[in-house]
Amino acid sequence: MSKLSLRTFTLLQTATSVGLSALAWAVTGVRPIWSGSQPSDRQRIYFANHTSHGDFILLSACLSEKERAITHAIAAAEYWGKSRLRRFIAEDMLSSVLISRQWTSPEENPISVMLSVLDQGHSLIIFPEGTRNMSDELLPFRSGLYNLSMARPDVELIPCWIENMSRVLPKGQFLPVPLLCRVVFGAPVAVAPSEERRAFLARARAALLALDPRPDRDD
Amino acid sequence: MRHEISILIIGLFVVLSTASVTAGVLSARAPKPLSATLVNLTQRINAWWVMVALMTVAFFFGRYGMTILFALISFAALREFVTLTHSRRSDHWVLLGMFGIVIPFQYWLVWTAWYGLFVIFIPVYCFLLMPAITALHGDTERFLERIAAQQWAIMISVYCVSHVPALLTLNVPGFEGRNLLLIAFLIIVVQGSDVLQYIFGKLFGKHRFSPTVSPSKTWEGLVGGLVASSLLGALLSFITPFSPLQASAVAFVACTMGFLGGLVASAIKRDQGVKDWGHLIEGHGGMLDRTDSLVFAAPIFFHIVRYFWTV
């Protein structure tokens, strides 16, 4: 992880990203709904609800080719680094950045890994719930979002609600059911002066939840 | 058959060009910014150009083109239906089966003209086996609602839609090799009826047909649309095995079913709290918004032709 350096996409990464975006569209007809923010190539951290491996593919399918080439999903090393094949898929094909929950050496510290990506001018996709969520409630957010925002306040934090993906590809399944999906991009959230960590995380979570277009959440 | 197809294509081209020119003139004269109705009208007409072009291409590929086109229409329609209705995590395999097994198998039955299984595969086998699979999963929460939604989904999106290409399997004496024209007749008359009802409704609509279900349907639109599309049916009798009188009667029945299909689709959408099924076709909504009338008309039209005109 220490030798993390990001270049422009390799041919394999470009092909994978174009192919997966086309596949995401064919299966889910995915459409972005820009509700409070606009597509832009400025540096951003997209944070989203997480129910499925397909989440980040759907989200990046909503970005332009140019943005996609500098946007990296953050994935758990415990899962994606488990075998050579998984690591190859995550890093060499999907250009994800792996972080470790049980890190030991300082250069494995997730925050410094993510900051090093931001410092190379790239954008991030993170799932602040920390895991794929099986319940119907959005889980409490982990602190990463707050720490990143405090360290790099000029990077925009965009909440992104990914709709229906838990029905398309639930945790534990590998064949997707074709259902229509939307990704709702909300207004940027920023840490207010002297805002305390937990208050900010609750506010960011509420901002994400507010984007859920379902009229009632009783299912 | 070439002759008839050429006439149809020229006719559609003239109608669509007239529509585009009319919408262009109306937009040029109207105060800016344009009203939502005018913007939507232009979007609808543009989408019609694309749909007619796609249908024409599929037409030239004959039986292959029609079977594949309507299988894809079933896919898009089923996706919209399932997205809108309630399902749970335990329904995953049943939902997968609807897309991965039911659609291909039903269209394979159309392709091989296996009529006996074609008519009962979904209403008998799927209707019994799908709830059985759901029950085997052991999740009984909102059970009846879930299995009912699944059955209606494949009934509407797959079973009914598949009756359109199934028209190619009918054996009408003296009409051999020209069955594609039956499809053309059904689609032009039913979709034409939708458009005519829209026009009559916009021009003369006063009395709502069913305010609680669909605010846009009026008695004036319905009567005007049905009379005009029956006349259109008679006018098109030269591409069918029907006499002009028979053609107008068949068109009348198909378009009445089409109207009811639109009404049922509106009721489902209203129940689920949405205005459109999806966003696939600009200005129209989703695939089901455009095909709801065809869905109800196709099986009835199929059986009328089969009962009265085949041996």
> Measured in whole angstroms, how far is the alpha carbon of residue B252 from the centre of its chain?
16
**Which chain A positions have a beta carbon within 8 Å of B79's beta carbon?**
29, 178-180
What is residue A8's predicted lDDT score, i.e. its pLDDT?
Answer: 63
State how far residue A197 is from chain B, nearest Cα, in angstroms.
34
Give chain A positions within 8 Å (CB) of B80: 180
Task: Considering only the beta carbons, identify the residue of B95, B273, B278 that sits closest to A180.
Answer: B278
Cα(A53)–Cα(A67) distance, rounded to whole angstroms? 20
Helix (H, G, I), strand (E, B) or coil at B217: strand
In this predicted structure, the answer to whether residue A2 has a pLDDT above a threshold of 80 is no
Which pLDDT band, with edges at 50, 70 and 90, does A101 fall under? Answer: confident
Tell me, what DSSP letter sits at residue B160? Answer: I
pLDDT digits (tens, 9 = 90+) for A74-96: 998 888 888 999 988 888 888 89
Cβ of B82 within 8 Å of Cβ of A177? The answer is: yes
> How do the domains of chain B map onto residue ranges?
1-60, 62-309
Task: Using an 8 Å CB-CB cutoff, list chain A residues near B83.
Answer: 164, 179-180
- Specify the pLDDT at position B149: 96
pLDDT of residue A7: 63
The whole-model pTM stands at 0.91
Beta bridge partners of B87: none
Fold classified for A33-209? Glycerol-3-phosphate (1)-acyltransferase (3.40.1130)
Residue A180 and residue B99: Cβ atoms within 8 Å? no
Residue ranges of E strands in A35-79: 44-48, 71-76
Q: How far apart are CA A123 and CA B295, in angstroms?
A: 46
Q: Check A219 against B88: CB less than 8 A apart.
A: yes
Q: How far is CA B291 from the centre of its chain?
A: 3
End-to-end CA separation in angstroms for chain B: 22
Q: What pLDDT is attached to residue A215? A: 56
**pLDDT band for position A181 (cuts 50, 70, 90):** very high
Nearest to B83 among A173, A180, A215 (CB): A180
Strand, coil or helix: what is B121? helix
Out of A170, A175, A179, name the one closest to residue B82 (CB): A179
Mutate to test the interface with A, among B72, B74, B80, B92 (most CBs of A within 10 A): B92
User: What's the pLDDT score for residue A6?
Assistant: 66
User: Can you tell me the distance from the alpha carbon of B18 to that of B11, in angstroms, rounded to the nearest whole number?
Assistant: 11
Domain ranges, ordered by start, for chain A: 33-209
Residue A213 has a pLDDT of 80
CB contact under 8 A, B96 and A170: no
Residue B88 with chain A: CB contacts under 8 Å: 219
Q: Would you tell me how many other CB atoms lie within 10 Å of the CB of residue A9?
A: 17
Residue (of A194, A185, A170, A203) closest to A50 by Cα position:
A170
Chain A residues whose CB is inside 8 A of the B96 CB are 175, 177
A85 touches chain B (CB under 8 A): no
Q: In whole angstroms, what is the distance from residue B4 CA to residue A42 CA?
A: 57
Q: For every one of its 311 residues, what pLDDT tens digit does chain B have, with 9 covering 90 and above? A: 889 999 999 999 999 999 999 999 999 998 888 888 899 999 999 999 999 999 999 999 999 999 999 999 999 999 999 999 999 989 999 999 999 999 999 999 999 999 999 999 999 999 999 999 999 999 999 999 999 999 999 999 999 999 999 999 999 999 999 999 999 999 999 999 999 999 999 999 999 999 999 888 999 999 999 999 999 999 999 999 999 999 999 999 999 999 999 999 999 999 988 889 988 888 889 999 999 999 999 999 999 999 999 97
ipTM: 0.85
Predicted pLDDT of residue B247: 97
Task: Tell me which residue in B79, B278, B280 faces A178 most closely, judged by beta carbons.
Answer: B79
Determine the Cα–Cα distance for residues B277 and B269; give it in Å rounded to an integer.
Answer: 7
Report the residue of A171, A179, A216 to disrupt the B interface, i.e. the one with the largest count of B CBs within 10 Å: A179
Q: Which residues of B touch A31 (CB under 8 A)?
A: 279
Calpha distance B189→B192 (Å, rounded): 5
Distance in angstroms (rounded) separating the CA atoms of residues B146 and B152: 10
Contacts of A170 in chain B (CB under 8 A): 89, 92
Measured between CA atoms, how close is B135 to chain A, in angstroms?
19
The answer to whether the beta carbons of residues A149 and A128 sit under 8 Å apart is: no
Dist. CA B61–CA A165, nearest whole Å: 36
Q: Taking CB atoms and an 8 Å limit, are A180 and B95 in contact across chains? A: no
Burial degree of A103 (CB within 10 A; 0-12, 13-18, 19+): middle
CA distance B100 to A185: 32
Contact between chains at A177 and B96 (C-beta distance less than 8 A): yes
Contact B87 A167 (CB under 8 A): yes
* Location of structure tokens 């659609």: B103
Output the pLDDT for position A107. Answer: 81
Which residue in A164, A166, A175 is closest to B83 by CB distance? A164
Rounded to whole angstroms, how far apart are CA atoms B40 and B168?
35
Strands of the A156-162 sheet, one edge to the other: A31-34, A182-185, A156-162, A44-48, A123-126, A71-76, A97-99
Sign of CA dihedral B166, B172, B239, B221: negative
Tell me how many residue pairs between chain A and chain B have CB atoms under 8 A apart.
Answer: 32
Q: Which residues of A touch B275 (CB under 8 A)?
A: none
C-alpha distances out from residue B266 to A9, B45, B271, B273, Å: 47, 22, 8, 10
Q: Which residue has the higher pLDDT, B242 or A4?
A: B242
Give the dihedral of Cα atoms B198, B204, B207, B209; nearest 10 deg: -20
Question: Using one digit for the tens of pLDDT, what is the confidence trace for A26-61?
Answer: 999 999 999 999 998 889 999 999 988 889 899 999
First to last CA, chain A: 41
- The mean pLDDT value for A18-30 works out to 92
